[in-house]
Structure 1
C-alpha cells in the first residue's frame, strides 16, 4: 500500500484537530462561548462538527492510502491491527486515571501512570514490523478489556466506548468495504445503513420505555447500550453513551461518504472538474440532511442519519474550498501551521487527553487558602489567567488558546525533525 498525501486533506485534518484541542480544553467548563459547546440535544454547533469531520477525513484518506485495491490475509491483518491500535489508544485514556499499584499515591503513582502512558503510546505508535504490531495490539487490547471486566475496584466502571474506539471500528469496516466492493455498492451500503438506522430508531418500541423515541436516555440506542455495556458507559449519563453501540452504525455511513469523496478526488480528470463534482455533492448532502432533520432530528449523541448527511455535506464543502485554494490555485504559503497539526493527529489526540489529567493530579498549595491544595491546572487558570480578563468567557477561551499554542510548539518541533507518529 503506497501512500500519497493530499495537502488540502492534511490541512483540513490539522484544522479539525486544532479545533478539537480548543473545545476540549477550556479553562472552565462553566464559562464557554456557545459555538464551543455541544448542542444540548437536537441541533448542531461548530463543536458538533469536530467528531464527524474526523471520521469523514479518515474515510477520505482511505483511497489515498490504498491506491491499489488488493485484499488478502496480510492486508486484512494490517487493517485489523491498525483498528485495534486506534481502539486501544482510546480505551487506555479511559483507564489512565484508574491505574493504581502497591497502594502508591501522589507523585509516585503519577509517575507510574506516565511511564505506562508513554509505554502504551510507544507500543501502539512505534514503527515495528507487522508481526510485532499484531502481538502488541492484541496484548494491550486483551489486557485493557480484562481490567475493565475484572471486577477490580478502580476499573469496574471503566468506559468501553469512546471517540478513538469508534474511529477504530469505522476504519475497520470502511477499509474492508473499499477493498472488496465498487463505488456503487459502497453507496448502497451507506444508504441502507442510514435508512435502516432511522427505521430502528423511529419505529421499534423500546423495552421498558414504550414507543420509539429520540429522547435522551429512553431511545433504542440508549437501551441497547445499557443492556450490553451496563456500568461501562459515559460517566455523565451512566445509562447511555454518545459513542454507543447502535449509533456506531451510522458513523460507518459517515466514513463511507468520506471514502466516496476520496475516490472523487482520485479521479483522473481535470482538478477543476473534481472540485465541481465535490461541491455539488456537498451542497446536495447538506440539503438532504436538513430535509431529513424534519423527521429524524440532527443529533450528535444519536449520530442520526440526518446528522450524517448534514455534517458530511459541510465537510465536503470545506474540503472542496481547501482543494481549490491549495491544490488547484496552488496558494499554499498559509498552510504550514495547519500541516504541522494535520500530520500528527494521533499523538495530539492521545497526549492532549493525558496532559490535563496529569495537571489535575499534581496538587500544590492554594495561594488563597494555604490550608487547601489545588491542581496545577486550576492554579494556572485561576491565578495566572483569570486575573487578566474581566469576562470569564474570555479567560476560559484564553486558557484553551494557550494550550493550543503549547501543542503548536511541540508539533512544530516534530515537524522540523520529520517525526510523524501514526498507527
Structure 2
C-alpha cells in the first residue's frame, strides 16, 4: 500500500460533491423533482445518500492517508487540528449571515462579510506549519464559540451543529480508532455504536415526553439537542437538529465502515478477488439495512442504524463498481470532470455555501415592481432562468445545473493550475 491516490475513490467523491451542489441549490425550493428532495421523515431518496456517501468516502480514504499507521504526539496533533479546521469551516457557514458591525447594511455589509470569509478561508485552508495551523484553528473555534454563547443578540441563535461539523467529529474518532485499534476491534466498535444507538433510541424514555419514540421533534435525540444546544439548533425547527449530538454516534459508525472497506484495499489479493469481496460486503450491508428498517426505520434526520448500514452498503457497491471500471478495466476517459470535483472537496463545500448566501443577501430593484426589491438570486432565477421553461421543476433544476456548471469551470481552472486545497 502506498500513498498513491485511488482514482475511483476520487471519482466517487467528485460525483458525490457534484450531486450535493445540485440538490443544495435549486432555483426554487417549492419546485423540486422528488429524487432531489430529502425524504419527509422515514425513507431514503437519492438526495439522502449524499451525506453518508461523503462520510463513507472520508473513512475509506483514512488508510490511504496513513498507510504506515504510526502513532505519536505529532500525528495526534495533526488529527486534532484537521478536525478543528473542518469544524470551524462548517461553523463559520452558520455565522456568515449573522456577521454585523457598526450598523453596516447592503453592499457595505456584504463586502465586510466577504472580507472576513476570505480571511477565515485563508487561515483554515492555507498551507502553514502545524504550529501555526493549531493556533489559528483553536483561536477561530474559541472566538466563534465565545460569540455564540456570549449573549450578543446577533449571535444568540447561531446554529452550532452542521454537515462539516459532523464530518469533523467523525474524522477525529475514526482516525484515532484506525491508528489505535486492530481491524477486529474497529468492527466491534462500529457494532457497539449501531446497536447501542438502536437501544438508546428505542428503549430509553424521553424526559418530559414519555416512552421512547422515533417521532419528529419528540424523540430522545431531539430532547438532548434542545437541552444542551437550546437556541443554537437548525433554524427550520429550532427544537432539534438533523446533525445533532446523539445522532452523531451512528454517523461515526458510518465513517468506521468506510474505513473498514478502505483497509480491504491493503489485502494481498488480486483485484478481481477484492471486487468480489467488497461487493459481497456491500450487498450484505444493504440487505441488513433493509431488514433493520422493519424495527428501526431508515431515517436520515435521526441517522438510524438501519440508515447507516443501508447507505454504507450502497456506497460500497458504488465504489467497487467504479473501481472495477476505472482501476481494473482502465476505462477512465469519461470521468475527468468528476476528478475536478473529487480532488478539491473542501473548496466546494465551503464556498458553494457562501455564494448563495451572498446572492440572497444583496437586494436590487425589482424590474416589475419599482417600489420593491429582490435578491440577486431571485432575479437570476425569476428573470433569466425561469422564463425559458414552462415547467417550474425544469426551471428549478436548470438553475441548479447552471450553478454546478459555474463551479465546474472554477474547479477545472484550479485542477489545470494544480491548486488543491486541503484542510
* Structure 1 residue 224 corresponds to structure 2 residue 224: yes
8 Å contact from structure 1 (residues 17, 345) kept in 2: yes
* Structure 1 residue 383 corresponds to structure 2 residue 383: yes
| Number of positions where the alignment pairs a residue of Structure 1 with one of Structure 2 | 423
Deviation of residue 2 (structure 1)?
7.4
Please name the residue that 1:357 is paired with. Answer: 357
* Whole-angstrom CA distance in 2 between matches of 1:89 and 1:268: 38
* Whole-angstrom CA distance in 2 between matches of 1:2 and 1:247: 34
8 Å contact from structure 1 (residues 58, 258) kept in 2: yes
* Whole-angstrom CA distance in 2 between matches of 1:267 and 1:127: 33
Helix, strand or coil at the partner of 1:319: helix
Deviation of residue 222 (structure 1)?
0.4
Please name the residue that 1:169 is paired with. Answer: 169
Task: Give CA deviations for 1:68-107 in whole Å, capped at 9, x if unaligned.
Answer: 1111111100000000000000000000010001111111
Moved over 6 A (4+): none
Please name the residue that 1:21 is paired with. Answer: 21
Deviation of residue 370 (structure 1)?
0.9
Task: Give CA deviations for 1:20-69 in whole Å, capped at 9, x if unaligned.
Answer: 00000000000000000000000000000000001000000000000011
8 Å contact from structure 1 (residues 2, 66) kept in 2: no
Please name the residue that 2:123 is paired with. Answer: 123
* Structure 1 residue 89 corresponds to structure 2 residue 57: no
* Whole-angstrom CA distance in 2 between matches of 1:360 and 1:223: 32
Task: Give CA deviations for 1:180-206 in whole Å, capped at 9, x if unaligned.
Answer: 001100000000100000000000000
Deviation of residue 266 (structure 1)?
2.1
Superposition map of 1:4-403 within 5 A = 4-403=4-403
Deviation of residue 362 (structure 1)?
1.3
Gaps of 5+ in 1: none
* Whole-angstrom CA distance in 2 between matches of 1:39 and 1:99: 32
Task: Give CA deviations for 1:107-138 in whole Å, capped at 9, x if unaligned.
Answer: 11110100100110110011100000000000
* Whole-angstrom CA distance in 2 between matches of 1:54 and 1:145: 26
Helix, strand or coil at the partner of 1:154: helix
Task: Give CA deviations for 1:133-161 in whole Å, capped at 9, x if unaligned.
Answer: 00000000001111111111110001000
* Whole-angstrom CA distance in 2 between matches of 1:2 and 1:139: 35
* Whole-angstrom CA distance in 2 between matches of 1:2 and 1:137: 29
8 Å contact from structure 1 (residues 247, 303) kept in 2: yes
* Whole-angstrom CA distance in 1 between matches of 2:104 and 2:371: 23
* Whole-angstrom CA distance in 1 between matches of 2:370 and 2:237: 35
Calculate the TM-score normalised by the size of structure 2: 0.99
| RMSD (Å), alpha carbons | 0.9
Helix, strand or coil at the partner of 1:331: coil
* Whole-angstrom CA distance in 1 between matches of 2:361 and 2:222: 32
Please name the residue that 1:416 is paired with. Answer: 416
* Whole-angstrom CA distance in 1 between matches of 2:246 and 2:298: 16
Gaps of 5+ in 2: none
Deviation of residue 3 (structure 1)?
3.3
Calculate the TM-score normalised by the size of structure 1: 0.99
Greater Cα offset, 33-42 or 357-366: 357-366
* Whole-angstrom CA distance in 2 between matches of 1:96 and 1:118: 11
